[in-house]
Amino acid sequence: MKRVFTLALMLLGAALCLNAKTPVIGISAYSEDGRCQVNMTYVNSVRMAGGVPLVIPVTGDDNQIAAIIETIDGLLMTGGEDFDPLKWFGEEPVRGLGEVVPTRDEYDVKLVRAAVAKGIPVLGICRGEQLLAVAFGGSLWQDIPSQVPSSYVKHRQSPTTGTVGTHSIDITKGSILATILGKEKAVVNSFHHQAVKDVPAGMKVTAVAADGIIEGLERSGKLNGFADGGAMILGVQFHPEIITNSGNPEFLPIFRKLVEEAGK
């Protein structure tokens, strides 16, 4: 009898192990020179956090996106080019606007809206954070140097390598970001000339640079006017994946949080 009981326990244990699926984290790609590409820093950061990275090719096809959304447990939206201001928030392009890639704009917006609608947690990095504003009714500074006179911090640290943090941010106490990092101040890297201007309803600012430029966003409630499954929405303007990939664990909790939420 005792032996049967032990065997039953072992079978139950094995079944539970098989059931505990490792979360699959979709990573948005960019397409350039006829290639579908993602920096390995994103892929490696997801791996280091315990997730399975799955690169999602650029597509505007709704059926493809719907099928991909069925496959993933979490979504990481990556950095890249500028958003088309006229199309997404009704502003004429200013002279400082950089390259716009309409196919990627459409893909990013469709993908993140589909994920949020289905209750899949989202982490947006750099352009991915700006996407959270663009896709859900907010807007961007198209070009910080020409549009925000009060901004004095160097937000484009290049040529300084991204493994080095260059400017500080203040993180809101009680936010997801402050909780997972365990602090309300950090030094981050910075490779952007755009930033979030108007924050959508249902989201709040959780980190700012010394000049007030938004460096972190997250969900504060229900999104207004968009299908919303209620899962985590987290965005950062800096590049935690470059620092994580370099072996510095300071920002690894950001990726761990995404994988943890994706496992729920």
* Residues contributing to the site for Mn ion (CB under 5 A): 155, 190
Verify whether residue 193 is a known catalytic residue.
no
Nearer to Mn ion, 138 or 162 (CB): 162
Q: Which of 129, 218, 241, 260 is catalytic?
A: 241
Least distance between Mn ion and beta carbon 237 (Å): 5
Verify whether residue 239 is a known catalytic residue.
yes
Q: Which of 126, 193, 218, 260 is catalytic?
A: 126
What's the chain's Rg over C-alpha atoms? 19
- Residue 228: how many CB atoms within 10 A of its CB? 19
Write the CA distances from 81 to 31, 61, 70, 155, integer angstroms: 11, 21, 27, 15
Least distance between Mn ion and beta carbon 109 (Å): 23
Q: Which of 215, 218, 239, 260 is catalytic?
A: 239
Least distance between Mn ion and beta carbon 192 (Å): 6
The rounded distance, in Å, linking the Cα atoms of 153 and 210 is: 7
Verify whether residue 192 is a known catalytic residue.
no
Write the CA distances from 144 to 108, 120, 140, 249, integer angstroms: 22, 31, 9, 30
Least distance between Mn ion and beta carbon 238 (Å): 6
Write the CA distances from 199 to 102, 175, 189, integer angstroms: 22, 16, 22
Distance of CA 168 to the CA centre of its chain: 20
Nearer to Mn ion, 175 or 190 (CB): 190
Nearer to Mn ion, 51 or 240 (CB): 240
Catalytic residues: 126, 239, 241
